[in-house]
Amino acid sequence: MTLPLPTAPLRVAAVQLVSGLDVAENMARAAHWVGEAAGQGAQFVGLPEYFCLMGQADEDKRAIAETFATEPQAAHQPLQHALQALARRHGVWLHGGTLPLHADGGKVSNSSLVYAPDGRLAARYDKIHLFAFDNGRERYDEGRVQAAGATPTALDVAGWHVALSVCYDLRFPELYRQLGPNLICAPAAFTHTTGQAHWQLLLRARAVENLSYLMAPAQGGLHANGRRTWGHTTIVDPWGDILAELPEGEGLALATLEPERLRQVRSQLPALQHRRL
């Protein structure tokens, strides 16, 4: 699927955090950086995966899980309400990284919510591919607590066709092919081990094969639970060039996405028109 190109530039900001065990503190840090991004002219701001909590165990997500609401209430959906309020306060498109929402069987979905500048809920995406890894020293199995999503999701952000994904989804290129993005969003909390080996390789590959910009806000540093995430929050252009990167620690990666760059790359290398399968 190839969609029309956007007509206006888009200023984007990817937030890097080192979230801990205190949900209120994590939310405050996220709010700080959303404000900083807006102050630097960002129109579209992305938070990392599980910006709200990096707990001692996966099971901790159940304790803060919320019921999904298109019109969240502060008393019942505090995280959703806070994201909505941030988008409205700063007049930005806000991609809320991910947060846990109640799912069937006592599990949670790892969900991305995107809010428009007026606070309207613009999209929800539930992470489809659930991470599992065991090298004898580190062991992860998200499927024990998380329920997998089933619906590829994209939305229009100021004329840009934006594909939503989360972390481990980056290893499944077919997800993006069917969405025909101008911009891929991939909030993440890559482990240090897998990030060091594959993070930049995957980001650049997904951008190049889709001739699309890519924005990947990440968790980046040593967390209170002892886990170390890779970080390297990155914005990539359609040729695979890195426009902005933050190796570790809190902060922002900012860039202006140019429609002309998309047109130039897709004109010079019309691979999207050459697809046969």
275 within some domain: no
Please report the pLDDT score of residue 1 as a whole number. 61
Instruction: State mean pLDDT over 187-205.
Output: 98
Q: For residue 138, how far is the Cα from the chain centroid?
A: 24
Question: How far is 13 from 30, CA to CA, in rounded Å?
Answer: 12
Please report the pLDDT score of residue 4 as a whole number. 83
Please report the pLDDT score of residue 144 as a whole number. 96
Q: How far apart are the first and last CA of the chain?
A: 12
Instruction: State mean pLDDT over 98-104.
Output: 98
Please report the pLDDT score of residue 3 as a whole number. 76
Tokens of 39: 């102050």
Confidence of residue 51 (pLDDT cuts 50, 70, 90): very high
Please report the pLDDT score of residue 242 as a whole number. 98
Q: For residue 264, how far is the Cα from the chain centroid?
A: 26
Question: How far is 119 from 131, CA to CA, in rounded Å?
Answer: 31
pLDDT surpasses 70 at 254: yes
5 within some domain: no
Percent of the chain exceeding pLDDT 90 equals 98
User: Average pLDDT, whole number, for the chain?
Assistant: 97
29 within some domain: yes
Alpha carbon separation from 2 to 59, 167, 178 (Å, rounded): 40, 24, 9
Confidence of residue 27 (pLDDT cuts 50, 70, 90): very high
2 within some domain: no
Helix (H, G, I), strand (E, B) or coil at 34: helix
Spot the catalytic one: 52, 167, 185, 250: 167
* Domains: count for the chain: 1
1 within some domain: no
277 within some domain: no
Spot the catalytic one: 36, 61, 107, 127: 127
Instruction: State mean pLDDT over 174-200.
Output: 97
* 100: containing domain: 10-270
CB 60 within 8 A of CB 99: no
Per-residue b or e along 196-228, where b marks 16 or more CB atoms closer than 10 Å to that residue's CB: eeebbebbbbbbbebbbbbbbbbbbbebeeebb
Percent of the chain exceeding pLDDT 70 equals 99
167 is catalytic: yes
For residue 170, the 8-state DSSP code is: G
Confidence of residue 173 (pLDDT cuts 50, 70, 90): very high
132 within some domain: yes
For residue 67, the 8-state DSSP code is: -
Is the C-alpha dihedral spanning 164, 35, 227, 65 positive or negative? Answer: negative
47 within some domain: yes
49 is catalytic: yes
Please report the pLDDT score of residue 277 as a whole number. 85
Spot the catalytic one: 49, 66, 142, 250: 49
CATH number at residue 64: 3.60.110.10
Q: How many CA atoms lie within 13 A of 232 on its CB side?
A: 20
Pick the range with the lowest mean pLDDT from 201-210, 247-256, 268-277.
268-277
Instruction: State mean pLDDT over 107-111.
Output: 98
Please report the pLDDT score of residue 2 as a whole number. 62
Question: How far is 31 from 211, CA to CA, in rounded Å?
Answer: 32
Instruction: State mean pLDDT over 231-258.
Output: 98
Q: How many CA atoms lie within 13 A of 259 on its CB side?
A: 12
